[in-house]
Amino acid sequence: MSALDELRRLRHDGAQVRKRDNKAAFWFLAPWFAGLLLVTIGPVLASFGLGFTKYNLIQPPRFIGLDNFARIFTDERLHNALRVTFTYVLVSVPLQLACALGVALLLDRGLRGLAVYRSAFYLPSLLGSSVAIAVLWTQVFGTDGLVNRVLAFFGVEGRGWISDPDTALSTLIVLNVWTFGSPMIIFLAGLRQIPAVYYEAAAIDGASWRSRFWHITLPLLSPILFFNLVLQIIHAFQSFTQAFVVSGGTGGPSDSTMFYTLYLYQQGFGRFDMGYASALAWFLLLIIAAFTAINFWAAKYWVFYDD
């Protein structure tokens, strides 16, 4: 056999091996592709189609054009849900990120038992969206709850924080701020990536702690801050469990905790108006996409990359 024939044989064998490996990889990935198609892409496309119909889960969907989307602009209860949700997002996310960054800076000072502190602060973010924590929150801020008992110890008369429309949303904001562990871990990882030589040079020049924070830490941490901001805004817009449990699924008192997702749930599974619920889901997607796009547009003015 000539050298050329041997080369052709090796190439043919190599092609056969690659073909066999690709086939095996396809079969291993097939369940994931099936799940993506049947559980994610399929329902998403179906909900888009249902947004143009009147559908109550019993009778077949009836095409009604853009009526569901037009109804969004005249639904006063939905407008209240949007106001509550925007308030929740715009207040809780900055407070949560500020707490996360503050604790990360403290933990970055080389404390003993750092792993213990890190786990202790991260634990609430794992449990924050659970039903158990939401139930606990109703006990903490209830009329006979822990908060009122502490206030009574100092001679201050408490109130039913969750049953009062003026304070019910604030309790949910506090709950979201309390779950700052996840962004805190990311901030801590980002702080560890900042070269110490910058701080050493600033210390030689006599820069104060505040000056080092504003001119070194914050600019170099801005990509991490941007990442956390986008992630937490999306997460806050999708908040549901806390409001559902605290209000008993009603969004009360007086719709003060009526989140957008809770109103969507009521339309879909309370009134069985699946067509309108689907339109609401796509409208929420547009809102989140708009906020994300604004964040990416504004990032060029305050996010710095250490190139």
pLDDT digits (tens, 9 = 90+) for 194-223: 888 988 898 888 888 889 999 999 999 999
Distance CA 147, CA 160 (A): 10
Q: What would the two tokens of residue 138 be?
A: 């109703």
Every domain of the chain and the residues it spans: 74-300
Q: What is the pLDDT of residue 227?
A: 95
Alpha helices in 36-108 (DSSP H): 42-50, 67-72, 76-107
**pLDDT for residue 263:** 95
Q: What is the helix (H) or strand (E) element at residue 54, kind and residue range?
A: strand 53-54
Helices 131-140 and 114-127 cross at an angle (nearest 10°) of 90
Regarding beta strands 62-63 and 53-54, do their DSSP bridges make them parallel or antiparallel, or are they unpaired? antiparallel
pTM of the model: 0.86
The rounded distance, in Å, linking the Cα atoms of 86 and 69 is 20
Mean pLDDT of the chain: 88
Helices 218-237 and 181-192: angle between axes, nearest 10 degrees: 160
Measure the CA–CA gap between 19 and 21, rounded to whole angstroms. Answer: 5
Per DSSP, what are the bridge partners of residue 53?
Answer: 63
d(CA 173, CA 183): 16
- The residue with greater pLDDT, 23 or 93, is 93
Contacts of residue 180, Cβ cutoff 8 Å, sequence gap at least 6: 96, 97, 99, 100, 103, 121, 124, 125
Per-residue pLDDT at 238: 93
What letter represents residue 306's amino acid?
A: D
The pLDDT of residue 128 = 62
Q: Tell me: pLDDT of 66 over 90.
A: yes
Q: Judge: domain 74-300, CATH 1.10.3720.10.
A: yes
Residue 77: pLDDT band with limits 50, 70, 90:
very high
- pLDDT higher for 64 or 23? 64
In the chain, the amino acid numbered 168 is A
State how far the alpha carbon of 52 is from the alpha carbons of 49, 168, 169, 195, 307, in Å.
6, 35, 33, 55, 48
What is the predicted pLDDT for the residue at 100?
Answer: 93
Q: Where are the alpha helices (DSSP H) in 179-273?
A: 181-192, 196-204, 209-212, 218-237, 241-246, 260-265
Phi, psi of 251 (to 5 degrees): 80, 10
Q: Give Cα 304 to chain centroid, integer Å.
A: 23
| 86 and 264 Cβ atoms separated by less than 8 Å | no
Query: How does pLDDT run across 98-152, given as a tens digit for each residue?
Result: 999 999 998 887 767 677 777 777 777 766 666 777 777 788 888 888 888 888 8
In this prediction, residue 121 carries a pLDDT of: 76
Instruction: Decide if pLDDT at 287 tops 80.
Output: yes
pLDDT of residue 134: 77
